[in-house]
Amino acid sequence: MIASADVRVDDVSGLLLRPTDARLLYVLAHGAGAGMRHPFLEAISQRLAEQGIATLRYQFRYMEQRSRRPDPPAVAAATVRAAVVEAARLAPGLPLVAGGKSFGGRMTSTAQSEEPLPGVRGLVFLGFPLHPPGRPDDKRAEHLARVTIPMLFLQGTRDEFADLALLRPVVQRLGDRATLHLVEGGDHSFKVPKKSGRTEGDVMGELARAIVTWSLKLVEDGG
């Protein structure tokens, strides 16, 4: 059985999806252009729940206020921290990982780099936005050197926000803390070309399995 509940994270909305056999909780932030109920986040949360992973999705303040301009990093990082605290309160005893889609993942790592998020064992990025499209650079990754917990990067090989020629060296510099899982043919939204023969469901299944395998091993290893 999977239970869904609307919750509050400070002054923004949240959504807890928790299977009765939950083994872990993923504090999952949305991307810059869409909120916590975006179909991608709905789908990945459902897939994870079917495999025993609970999720807490939540809104950044700008999205809650229906603004198009993302919150400044300090404001977004404060919301991430509040969501992690609320996750621990809602599911005491469950191990935590945190991260999110694009902007949400980067704001989670920003928060973690400034001060460790309480109880969070690792970070999971669904398309880390290394740079804007057409402007390859790795400055957005500089703060990752200050993140001392394990990180999982899930990236499409056609992601225009993360040139692999730049992302691979970033991951290598992070050493054993970082794992890179590539989705062949995937773009920033993990959509693959029709000629690949793979469906959206196939890709969602791959992403969910990668998250589950990595996260549970992390917990079992005492990370």
CATH number of the structural domain spanning residue 10: 3.40.50.1820
Indicate the length of the chain as a whole number.
Answer: 223
pLDDT at residue 125 in the model: 98
Split into its structural domains, the chain has a count of: 1
Mean pLDDT of the chain: 95
The sheet with strand 96-101 has its strands ordered as 2-9, 12-19, 53-58, 24-29, 96-101, 120-126, 151-156, 178-183
* Cβ-based neighbour number of residue 156 at 10 Å: 23
**Owner of token pair 């909780």:** 25
Task: Check whether 182 has a pLDDT greater than 70.
Answer: yes
Residue 27 in contact with residue 222, Cβ under 8 Å?
no
Domain that holds residue 95: 2-220
Residue 223 above 70 pLDDT? no
- pLDDT, residue 118, reads 96
> Confidence band (pLDDT; 50, 70, 90) for 32?
very high
